[in-house]
Each structure stands twice: as structure tokens, then as C-alpha cells.
Structure 1
Amino acid sequence: MRETMPQTPIFPSMLGTSCSGHVQPDMEEKCGDPVYQDGSLVSGSLEVLIEHLVPTVDYYPDRTYIFTFLLSSRVFIHPQELLVKVGQICTKQLETGLEADKARVKEFVPKIIQLLTEWTETFPHDFQDEKSMKELKDITHQIAQCDEDRLMHITPEELVHIFNHMDSMDNHKTCRSDIKKTYSLEACDNWFNRLSSLVATEICRVGKKKQRTRVVEFFIDVARECFNIGNFNSLMAIISGMNLSPVARLKKTWSKVKKAKFEVLENHMDPSSNFSHYRTALQGAVQRSQTAHSNREKVVIPVFNLFIKDIYFLNKIHANRLPNGQINFKKFWEIAKQISEFMMWKQVECPFEKDKKIKNYLLTAPVYTEEALYLASFESEGPENHMEKDSWKSLRATLLNRA
């Protein structure tokens, strides 16, 4: 650990990757080792200085070091490349932490967020291009996956910020402040997408039809349990994953599945009539929660994307001011009602025992890209028509060229 590292500033001239003249011959430091003089870091390889920039559970770099290094580093490395390296170090720390002590990882998360915040505020031009913005999002999403309960981190203010954020998305504009203000919201969205992809991956990766059928039926049972406890968000994510084209096209597999339970669940999540069946089920869960005597019966986790869209469109379709110039406070009463209800739901203590192995699997198991899903699907059950054959050939050619 680097908790004993002095938190002192360095200067641009000390960023060289060659050995410093301050090293005495009898010290026998390697070229990459950091060199200290009077307790101050005076030289080191670029890799070592980058590591010194990234926080750990027990260490956070001095702000003067952060500023000086970020200012000087562009002489030796492009900011976008530096961001990639920072992300790689963060990922390694997170993976190591998940295997060792998940509780300590939670202490690291706010520190890396603070570092990214200082970087974006001090050197905003480093994040003007799309690649840098993508890297920034990738890091925040990686961090988000380590939060045990994503809903707990969402604040009422963040839900209000979604108005401006979705407007900027509609106008194809995304800024650094949007990412920071809606961090927890994007974490929930990222978790939904990961769970959907994970379900599809686990199904498509199984080569034998009999085993693949069992995996499908397993996820149907998991989805049904999500419905029973009021976790509609995970229910929707699982169903979405099973309805992805690479999974849906596995007709031989689905012919062996007892589909009655799945069809019932699909009906609850049917998007027709503005998800009327889901909204009825959600209201039933809310009523159960209000009269419940146990935390298990109090659980209400709505389909998060729909919840956000409801608030957004409620804000969109009603003006902030009436024709006479007065503030349309009735609109804000309704918005506040929905947000306050959500705040009550997220305060319910989790009634289920937390299994470390399952959590680690959900957070770290690899998921296939869309192309990899299709390839695995075609390998499990070959193309059935000319269109699928063409898609398969094109996909294989594309992946072969990349290799």
C-alpha cells in the first residue's frame, strides 16, 4: 500500500523517465523507482508517477501533486491515454478489493470520484473529445458496479438534474457536470444493462441444448422470484436479456422450455398501454409495502428507466409557469410526490442475506458484446435462413479481420 508515501508536490522537470541525478551510486535504485529527497518526491518513471496519482483505500494524493502532475504529464502522454491508464489501475484495485474485502472497496470509490472531479474541473479541455468522455464514463461505470445498493446513493437533487441531463442527451450534448450530477442514476442504468447482457451471455455460451434449456428455466425462476419480492427492475432486466435476438432465435432451446411461467412474466412487463400491467403490479407492491410488518414485504424496486421517464415527461408536458405568470406549483407537488415515494422505497433495509460469491459473480463475470452473443448463438444453433447465414458470414469475417 502507498499510505506511507509523502504527499508532496513535484515539478515539471522531475517527470522524466530516465534516472534522476539525485540518486546516489550506493543507493542502487532501479530506473523506475521513485526517488525522494528530504521527504519530497523528486523523480520517477512515468508509470510510477501515474500510480502515485491514483488513490487507494488508505491514500489520496496531495492536491498540489494532482495539479502539477496533470499539468506536466501532457509533455509525456496525451490526456486521453493517461485517463486510460488511470482507469486500468482503478480496475485492478477494484478487482483485487472485491476478492479481499468488499467493505474497504467502498472507501476507495469516493476517492477516485474526487480525483476525477478535480481533474475535470481543473483541466476541462482534457475532456472535450468523444474518446475522453467515453473513457470517463467507462471508469465511472466500473466504479458504479462496486456499489452494493445503487438505489441508496440516489438523492432527490440527482433526480431533478435528470431533466437537464435528458434534454442534453436529446440535443446530443453531454457535459462533465451532467456525468457528475447524474452519476448514481447512470450507475443504475449501467447495472440494468449489465444484468441483461449477463443473462444473455450465460444462455448463449452454453453449447449443449439440454444444459442451455436448464439455464433458461433457471433465469425464469429468478425472474419470478424478483416479481414476488417486488424487484421489478431486475425482473425487467432479466426478461430483456432473454428477449435479445441472439437468445430469442434459439428455437430448439425454447421448444424444450416450459414457457407458461415466462409468458406470465412477459405479460406483466408488456409495454402496451404505457405498461399498464406493470403499473398495476407496481401499485399492488406499493400497497403491500404500506401495510407490511416485515422488510421482505416492504421491498419495492420499480423499473428504474420507466420511473425516470415518468418524472421527466411529467416535467416536460407541464409548464413551470401558468399563463398568468404564476409558478405552476401543482406540477411540482406531483413531482415531489413521486420522488418522495421513491425515497421511502430506497430506505427499506435489505431483508436478504448477502452471499459474497454471488455478489462477486454478478459484479465481475464477463459479458459478451452484441457481436459475440450472435456468434455464440449461431454456434449453438446454426443459421436457419439466408439472412442469418449472411449475418453469420459477415460476423465471422469481421471478427477474423480484427484478429
Structure 2
Amino acid sequence: MPQTVFPAAGTMFTPSGFSPHLASTCSEADPEEEEGPEEARGPGACAADGPPITSASLDTLIQHLVPTADYYPEKAYVFTFLLSARLFISPPELLVRLCDTCIKQQQLDQSPLDTAKVRKFGPKILQLLTEWTETFPTDFREEKMVGLFKDIIHRIAPCDEAYWKTLNQVLQTLNQKLAAIAQGEESIVKVNASSVSSISDKLVGFKTKPPPIQKDILSICNDPYTLAQQLTHVELEHLSHIGPEEFVQAFVQKDPLDSTQQPCFSEQKKKTTNLEAYVRWFNRLCYLVATEICMPAKKKQRAQVIEFFIDVARECFNIGNFNSLMAIISGMNMSPVSRLKKTWGKAKTAKFFILEHQMDPTGNFYNYRTALRGAVHRSQTANSIREKIVIPFFSLLIKDIYFLNEGCANRLPNGHVHFAKFVELARQVGEFMTWKQIECPFETDRSILHYLHTAPIFSEDGLYLASYESESPENQVEKDRWKALRSNILVKTKELKEHHGS
């Protein structure tokens, strides 16, 4: 089983900051006590002398989210529940339940309203919905969510006209956030389109005489530290667009206790665009590294590129950019690259094996997790923005969160929700939310960034063909593959010429 929360990471993300004490969840509260809970007495905020709560029914957890005139849930609980509840109930349905409960409890469907009571309740429901829009703004892309928000405020506004002003301010801020998110997603789509179109194998057959327009990474940037900085720019840009809900919605399945036939989210509404784009970036960087190594016709040049990327990987490690580090190592370990024994023999590789050891998967990536804890500690005690950077190996983070989601989604035999797992998931995702908010301190180099996103890369077949062109096949299997690949490239080239000719 993957490890989840690191000892050095005890902070919890909330809309207004980070609560260092997210309490363990509690056993289900006594129904008689739910009518008038004390301030901040919920599953995420157990009394010091009370037993720790580990589970509760979904209805009880929803009830703990509902504010009253005398009660408001802890910020940590709000984040934890809004994050994980979507495994069982969609955000619109949850908001319907929340509003219906508020209307009944506060008698908001009665006339006249109890003005004194509503004035105590009003600021609390506004605060809760504001926190929701701040932390999970994409939930409010659906008009139904905004409509429910407006409706509940419409019911309490007769008691204080200031509620309308607050609502308008919240919605204005929300619209600005959603516009920024949409713009970010559009830019990712454009970058992805240019990356996909950059896959090119036609250069392989001309390795001895590469086209003069074909550039390589060393002609764009020959300083490892500078390239590591620009890679960090790309990583942090991707991280900034990923919402916390994507980590849960990526794994949403149908709740077995739900009588409907559909999961909480359709495939269209999972909204994991940014998460998927980040995974594609990792894969592109792997292939770009492999392409740059396999491209040069001369062994000395290939060895030089290997040494360059080793130095880039080391700088990424020093920065705290573990995702680019792992992508570079993965690219250098791809079979078309690793088989280039003569090339590797000419390169100085001592530093590479040290870095490889750091990212060794043995012991559930024990060495990497130790290094990550060190980076987290450095970030928490940082004296500069550069020291705050923590970019985790994303695929492993996804794996960890997948298993946490599995634990969250599995109900207990009595039908209760395993809320203690919610807390673990919130800690892990909350930690990520801290890291993604760091602004990149390095100066942007547009030419390098453009190259990273658009430089032609070989497909896997193209890499093998380039590799065989560099160092001849050593056995019959490789010879057969080489022959098949060359034949395939010739056919594709002929079809391409015929297409352009017509």
C-alpha cells in the first residue's frame, strides 16, 4: 500500500489559510444532540474529552455541514467534507440538501421571518457558501448551483439588505475565478494541440543529413540550471490549474447504496482536464528527452546530450522539482535510449546513478519520499520563495490518492461513511494545494518554453528506429524490428508525398 500523509506535512488547506489541527473524525453523534450543536462541534472538531469519531452516516455528515444561528463547522471540516462527499453525492444535490435543511431549520418558508434569528444565521450561511466558491469554484459552473445560492440569499435578504451586496461581491469574485480557469484551460488545449502535432518520425531516415531547420535542445539552451528553471515554470503553471476536486472526481464510481443507475458524475462532468493535461506533459517530457538523445548522428554528441540532461535532472532535484526529475530519468531509461551501450560508455554517468537511486521504486519509493519530506521541511522553514518550491512526482501522488479514494468510497458494513479516510485524503490534497500556490521565482525564457512545448518528438517506433540507426541491432529480434520499422516509415513517407501531391 502506498504511504499517504508524510509526518512533516501536518497542515491543512482551507480557503483562508491552513489549520494545523485537523482533528480525527468522531463516532456518529447522538441524534438528540444534533438539533442544537455547540460552536465548532462536528466530526472534524471533536471535543478534547470526547471519543474520536471515525465514521458516520452521510446524512449525519451533511447535518454537521449545515450552519445554524449558534453553530458553524470548522473550516477544516468544510474542506474535508466538500472534497470527499462528491464520492457519494454530486455538488448540486449536496447543495439542494443543504439549502432544504437550512430552510426547514430556520423556517425560511414562513412569513413573517424571525428577523433576530435570521440575522444570526445569515452571515454563517453566506460564509459557508463563500468558502465553497473560493475552494471549489468549478462546482459553480453549473447554473443550478448559482441558482440555489441566490435562492437561499433571496429568502434571508428581507431581514438585511446587506446580504444582497455580499452575494453580488461573492458572485463577482467567482466569475473572475471561473474566467481565469477557463482561460487557463484554453491555453492548455492550445499547448496540447501543438505538442500532439509535433510528433514526427520523418526525420529518422535522414539522420546523417538532418534538415537545417531542425533544432536541438543544446542550440536553445546549454545551461542545465536555466533549463531546470524553465521546466519548473511549466510544472508550476500546470499545478496552478489543478483544482482539489479533480483528485476525487478522477476516481468517482457509482455509490452502491444509491438507487439511481448513474455515478455522481458522468464522464463529461468529471472535469479532470487539468489533471490529465499534466500527465500528458510528463509523458511529453519523457519522449522529448529520449528524442534529444537519439537524434544526433554522432556518438560524442549523444553522450554530450546525456550528460546535459543528467545535470538538468540534478538541478531539478536541488530546486525541489521532482516531477521533471522523474520525467528525465524515465526518458533516459526508455529502451531505445538505454540500449545505446556505446553512447553510454562515452558519457560520464556517476551523477545519473545517484539520481536514479533517489527515485528508486524499491520500498514504495522510500528514497524519494525521504527526499520529498526534506523538501517539504525546507519549504515550511524557507527564507526565500525558491526554497518554498515543492513539485511532487505526480504519478506517484495520483497513485497514493487513488488508494485513499478507494478507502473513502468503500462504506462500512453498517452503511456509514469512513470519515477518518476523508481526513487522510484532505490532508494529502490539502498539502498539494499548498505547493501549487507557490509562484515561480525564476525569470521566464519564452524561447525555451516554446521549444519545450513544440519541439518535434519521436513516437516509440521513431525512437527505436533512431536508436537502431545510431547503434546497429545486436540480435535477431532487434534486426527484425529494425527492418519492419524502416519499411513502415517508407510506406508512411510515400503516402504523405502522395497526399501532398494530390
CA contact (8 A) 2:185 2:274 kept: no
2:286: which partner in 1?
196
CA offset at residue 276 of structure 1?
A: 1.1
2:394: which partner in 1?
304
Return the alpha-carbon distance in structure 2 between the equivalents of residues 164 and 144 of structure 1: 29
CA contact (8 A) 1:144 1:184 kept: no
CA offset at residue 317 of structure 1?
A: 3.8
1:363: which partner in 2?
453
Give the letter aligned to residue 149 of structure 1. Answer: E
CA contact (8 A) 2:291 2:463 kept: yes
2:367: which partner in 1?
277
2:303: which partner in 1?
213
In structure 2, the CA distance between the partners of 1:186 and 1:140, relative to structure 1 (3 Å rule), is: farther
Asked if 1:333 corresponds to 2:333, the answer is no
Give the letter aligned to residue 188 of structure 1. Answer: Y
Deviations 1:278-333 (A, max 9, x none): 11111111111111111111100001111111011112145543333332110000
Asked if 1:141 corresponds to 2:188, the answer is no
Asked if 1:151 corresponds to 2:239, the answer is yes
2:468: which partner in 1?
378
2:336: which partner in 1?
246
2:268: which partner in 1?
177
1:110: which partner in 2?
182
Q: Any stretches of 5+ residues in structure 1 without a counterpart?
A: 1-106, 115-136, 168-173
CA contact (8 A) 1:144 1:187 kept: no
Query: What secondary structure does 2:440 align onto?
Result: coil
In structure 2, the CA distance between the partners of 1:309 and 1:336, relative to structure 1 (3 Å rule), is: same
CA offset at residue 382 of structure 1?
A: 1.1
CA offset at residue 141 of structure 1?
A: 3.2
Asked if 1:350 corresponds to 2:350, the answer is no
Q: So what's the TM-score if we normalise by structure 2?
A: 0.50
CA contact (8 A) 1:204 1:247 kept: yes
CA contact (8 A) 2:320 2:389 kept: yes
Deviations 1:85-127 (A, max 9, x none): xxxxxxxxxxxxxxxxxxxxxx99937968xxxxxxxxxxxxx
Q: Given the alignment, which residue of 155, 161, 180 partners 2:249?
A: 161
Asked if 1:324 corresponds to 2:404, the answer is no
Return the alpha-carbon distance in structure 1 between the equivalents of residues 442 and 185 of structure 2: 29
Give the letter aligned to residue 157 of structure 1. Answer: E
CA offset at residue 165 of structure 1?
A: 7.9
In structure 2, the CA distance between the partners of 1:386 and 1:221, relative to structure 1 (3 Å rule), is: same
Give structure 1 regions of 4+ aligned residues with deviation exceeding 4 angstroms: 111-114, 137-140, 143-148
CA offset at residue 138 of structure 1?
A: 8.0
1:314: which partner in 2?
404
Deviations 1:334-367 (A, max 9, x none): 0000001000001111111111111111111111
Return the alpha-carbon distance in structure 2 between the equivalents of residues 158 and 110 of structure 1: 15
CA offset at residue 273 of structure 1?
A: 1.5
Percentage identity across aligned positions?
Answer: 60
In structure 2, the CA distance between the partners of 1:160 and 1:319, relative to structure 1 (3 Å rule), is: closer
1:394: which partner in 2?
484
Deviations 1:234-277 (A, max 9, x none): 00000000011111111000001111100011111111221111
Return the alpha-carbon distance in structure 1 between the equivalents of residues 415 and 183 of structure 2: 45
After superposition, residues 45-64 of structure 1 pair within 5 angstroms as none
Give the letter aligned to residue 400 of structure 1. Answer: L
Q: Any stretches of 5+ residues in structure 2 without a counterpart?
A: 1-178, 197-232, 256-264, 495-502
Asked if 1:187 corresponds to 2:277, the answer is yes
Query: What secondary structure does 1:395 align onto?
Result: helix
Return the alpha-carbon distance in structure 2 between the equivalents of residues 112 and 309 of structure 1: 25
Return the alpha-carbon distance in structure 2 between the equivalents of residues 271 and 342 of structure 1: 21
Number of equivalences? 268
CA contact (8 A) 1:209 1:253 kept: yes
Greater relative CO, 1 or 2 (CA 8 Å, sep 6+): 2
Give the letter aligned to residue 206 of structure 1. Answer: P
Query: What secondary structure does 2:300 align onto?
Result: helix
CA offset at residue 401 of structure 1?
A: 2.5
CA contact (8 A) 2:307 2:348 kept: yes
CA offset at residue 176 of structure 1?
A: 4.9
In structure 2, the CA distance between the partners of 1:144 and 1:110, relative to structure 1 (3 Å rule), is: farther
In structure 2, the CA distance between the partners of 1:298 and 1:166, relative to structure 1 (3 Å rule), is: farther
CA contact (8 A) 1:320 1:331 kept: no
CA offset at residue 151 of structure 1?
A: 0.4
Return the alpha-carbon distance in structure 2 between the equivalents of residues 378 and 144 of structure 1: 25
Return the alpha-carbon distance in structure 2 between the equivalents of residues 335 and 367 of structure 1: 37
Return the alpha-carbon distance in structure 1 between the equivalents of residues 382 and 350 of structure 2: 30
Return the alpha-carbon distance in structure 2 between the equivalents of residues 166 and 326 of structure 1: 16
Instruction: Give the stretch that moved more between structures: 141-150 or 186-195.
Output: 141-150
Return the alpha-carbon distance in structure 2 between the equivalents of residues 285 and 109 of structure 1: 28
CA contact (8 A) 1:202 1:215 kept: yes
Tell me the C-alpha RMSD between the 2 structures.
2.9
CA contact (8 A) 2:385 2:438 kept: yes
Query: What secondary structure does 1:384 align onto?
Result: coil
CA offset at residue 209 of structure 1?
A: 0.7
Return the alpha-carbon distance in structure 2 between the equivalents of residues 144 and 394 of structure 1: 26
Give the letter aligned to residue 142 of structure 1. Answer: A
CA contact (8 A) 1:158 1:181 kept: yes
CA contact (8 A) 2:376 2:390 kept: yes
Instruction: Give the stretch that moved more between structures: 337-346 or 374-383.
Output: 374-383
Instruction: Give the stretch that moved more between structures: 263-272 or 214-223.
Output: 263-272
